[in-house]
Amino acid sequence: MPDDITLTIDGQEVTVAPGGTLLEAAAQLGIEVPTICYHPHLTANAVCRICVVEAEGARVLLPACVAECADGMHVTTRNERVERSRRTILEMLDSAVDLSEAPEITAMGADYQADATRFEGGKKREFDLMDDNPFYVRDYSQCVMCWRCVQVCAEDAQYTFALNFGERGFDSHIATFFDAPMPDTTCVFCGQCVGVCPTGALKPRREWGMEQGLSLEEIWQSTRRAKKRRDEHKG
């Protein structure tokens, strides 16, 4: 077996098994590194880059969720360079995405003193609400493209592959294949995508209805109508 690895994070020495990530090593020391796209039960893909840290001698900041520990590393999880990078990411997200229902992300913005007006006037990611099934609604105006829903729907959990990516560049977004309504996809409505969503982009229909001021009876009736539409699609 390969020898354990010893490194230093924020001045504290830690020993980990080979293959461990900087995020895991920091957690072992009780050091919290912020994350958005990372989820402990999903494959880490370093999409959001909010977890970047600085390693002595490295040219660029390293995404802690995927960067493996190396013997003798000296890592800093929070300094001026790291904070500036995280702050800029949060400011760009705030300028383009509706974060009103992403309390963890908005808390990060406050922590890093992100300026919500820095990129004001830029193009917004705006999508129509998708209400095409009896179980949940999709509002991709609130989506930060963390990939969690796609991953949990695919090899990481459900193996259903109902979700994918649509278009490219700034217009890229989570979608179904050929933009089919959810009842026409391979979705089995397990709800795991809703469970891992860090924003309000995916929301249970009942929760959404109550937020709209609907009574339980009105929500029940709208759910029945949505179920009828789903059955008609299947028919």
User: Residue 213: which CATH number?
Assistant: 3.30.70.20
Residue 18: what pLDDT?
A: 94
Q: Is residue 98 part of a domain?
A: no
Residue 1: what pLDDT?
A: 56
Model confidence pLDDT, tens digit, residues 49-108? 999 999 999 999 999 999 999 999 999 999 999 999 999 999 999 999 999 999 999 999
Range of the domain at 224: 136-234
pTM across the whole model: 0.87
Helix (H, G, I), strand (E, B) or coil at 224: helix
Indicate whether 151 and 67 sit together in one domain. Answer: no
Q: CA 78, CA 84: separation in Å to the nearest integer?
A: 10
Q: CA 143, CA 125: separation in Å to the nearest integer?
A: 9
Q: Does 162 have pLDDT greater than 90?
A: yes
Q: Specify the number of domains making up the chain.
A: 2
Model confidence pLDDT, tens digit, residues 20-65? 999 999 999 999 999 999 999 999 999 999 999 999 999 999 999 9
Backbone angle region of 162, left / alpha / beta, with phi > 0 → left and psi within -120 to 50 → alpha: alpha
Residue after which a domain boundary falls, among 28, 44, 78: 78
Q: Is residue 113 part of a domain?
A: no
Q: Is residue 118 part of a domain?
A: no
Residue after which a domain boundary falls, among 78, 94, 112: 78
